[in-house]
Chain A
Amino acid sequence: MNCKELVYLLGDYLEGTMEEPLRQEFSVHLEMCEPCMNFLRTYDTTRILCRQIRPEEIPEEVRTRLKAFVLEKVREHNRDIEKYVEQAARERREEVEALLRAYAANRLSPMMAILFRTHNDRCETCGAFLRSINGGRSLAEIPEIPPHIEEHIAEFLDALPPGEAPTLL
C-alpha cells in the first residue's frame, strides 16, 4: 500500500468498515510513514470538527410566518378537497336520479333496459324499490332515493361497459 491508496481508504479506516487484511496493511504503512500519520490525524480532526457544526436555527419571526402560511394553505387545500368530494357526490346523485327517472318513464336505452331489468328482477337490494317506481311515472312522483339504494345503483353504473348512453334523450 502506498500513501495515495492509504489516503483513499481513510474514511473506511476511521469508520471501522475495513476488511481485516487490508486494515493490517494500512496499519503497517501508517507506522512507517510520518506524513500519512499526520494526514490521518488532521483528517480525523477535520471530521470531528465537521460533526460539531450545528444546523442553522430558524429565526422566530420566520418560524411564525411560515407556520401561519403553511396552516392557512392546508386549510385551503382541505376546503378544496371538501368541495371536490361534495361535487362528486352531487354528480353521482344526479346520475342515479337521471337513470331512475328514465327507468320510471320507460326511456332507458335498449341495451340498458335489458341490463337493468335483468339486474333488478333478481336484486335483493334494489329490486323492490325499482319495481315500486316503474310504470310511466312523472319525475315528481319518484320517492326520495334511500342512500343505500343510491350507492348500490351508482356502483351498478360504475360497472357498465363503455358504449351507448344509458338513457334516451
Chain B
Amino acid sequence: MRFGSAGRNPAARVESKPERSMPTERVADDNVLLEGLRHGSADAAETLFDRFHGRIYSLAMSILKNESDAEEAVQDVFLTVVRKAHTFKGNSALYSWMYRICVNTCLMRLRGKRRSETVAIEDFMPVFTEDGMHTSLVDDWSKEVERKALEKELGQVIQKCTEDLSEKYRVVFVLSDVEGLSNEETAQILGLTVPAVKSRLHRARLYLRERLTGYLREGKMEKQ
C-alpha cells in the first residue's frame, strides 16, 4: 500500500476507489470473459489478466507483505480462476469471486509459514472507567493533520501500523478501507457476517487512531 495525494475533499477520495456498484456493462463483460475462459480462449485469459492483475497483486501484497509470496499467490489465483471458470455460478461479481480466491490463497500460504510478529490489538483499545467514562483526556489532533506534509507522513505511519496488525483485522481493513468494498461485499468474500466485518473494521480504526495519537504525542513510532 502507499499513500495517495488526493486532496482534503472526501468525495474526491471516494471517486478514485474501485467501483462499488456493478454496472450492467461490466456484468455483461464479465460474462463474456467467463464464457471465453470456459471454452479455453487464450484471448479471454489475457483479458482476465490485464483487467485484474493489479488489484489481485495489491491485495496479495497487503496480506502477505512479501513480493515473491505475492507473486506466487497471484499465479495461483489466475490458474484457479481459469481452471474453475466452469464452476462459477455468477451469484457474485467476478472480481468478488477472484478476491475470495485471492484471500483464501494468501491465508493458506500464511498458514504454511512462520508468521511475522503482530501487535495485540487489545493494548490499543480505549480505556474507560467502570461508569464508562474516558479515563484520561482525549487530544484533538485532527486540525494538525490538515497540514499537507504531516498528512503524508501520517499516511506512512498508518501503512506501517497496518502491517503490524494480525491478518484477522488487516484483511478486513484492506478490503473495506483500501479496496473500498462495502461491508456486505467484504463479508461475502471472507465468509463473515456483516456485524463481524463492522466490528473488526471499527477495532482496526480504533487501533490506528491510537497509534496516530501516540505518534503525534511522542513524534515517533511507539514500539510495542
Interface string of A1-35 (1 = CB under 8 A from B): 01111011011100000000000000000000011
CB-CB under 8 A from A11, the residues of chain B are 198, 201-202, 205
Q: What is the interface size of chain A, counting residues whose CB is below 8 A from a CB of the partner?
A: 49
- The A contact surface, by secondary structure, is helix
- Residues of A that sit less than 8 Å from B by CB: 2-5, 7-8, 10-12, 34-39, 41-59, 62-63, 65-67, 69-71, 73-75, 77-78, 81-82
Say yes or no: A50 contacts B158, CB within 8 Å: yes
One of B14, B79, B151, B202 near A77 (C-beta < 8 A)? B79
Asked if B28 is at the interface (CB within 8 A of a chain A CB), the reply is no
A120 to B4, alpha carbons, bound, how many Å? 75
Asked if B104 is at the interface (CB within 8 A of a chain A CB), the reply is no
CB-CB under 8 A from A43, the residues of chain B are 205-206, 209
Q: How far is the CB of B17 from chain A (nearest CB, A)?
A: 7
Q: What is the interface size of chain B, counting residues whose CB is below 8 A from a CB of the partner?
A: 63
One of B45, B67, B155, B202 near A74 (C-beta < 8 A)? B45
Say yes or no: B205 contacts A51, CB within 8 Å: no
Chain A: CB-nearest residue to B41: A78
Chain B: CB-nearest residue to A81: B40
One of A12, A36, A66, A77 near B53 (C-beta < 8 A)? A66
A4 to B49, alpha carbons, bound, how many Å? 47
CB-CB under 8 A from A48, the residues of chain B are 10, 13
- The B contact surface, by secondary structure, is helix
A55 to B55, alpha carbons, bound, how many Å? 8
Asked if B149 is at the interface (CB within 8 A of a chain A CB), the reply is no
Say yes or no: A39 contacts B138, CB within 8 Å: yes
Say yes or no: B4 contacts A70, CB within 8 Å: no
A2 to B128, alpha carbons, bound, how many Å? 10
A57 to B178, alpha carbons, bound, how many Å? 13
- The verdict on A10 contacting B202 (CB below 8 Å), with A49-B155, A52-B13 known, is yes
Say yes or no: A4 contacts B132, CB within 8 Å: yes
Say yes or no: A66 contacts B75, CB within 8 Å: yes
Say yes or no: B140 contacts A53, CB within 8 Å: no
Interface string of B196-209 (1 = CB under 8 A from A): 00100110011011
Q: How far is the CB of B56 from chain A (nearest CB, A)?
A: 9
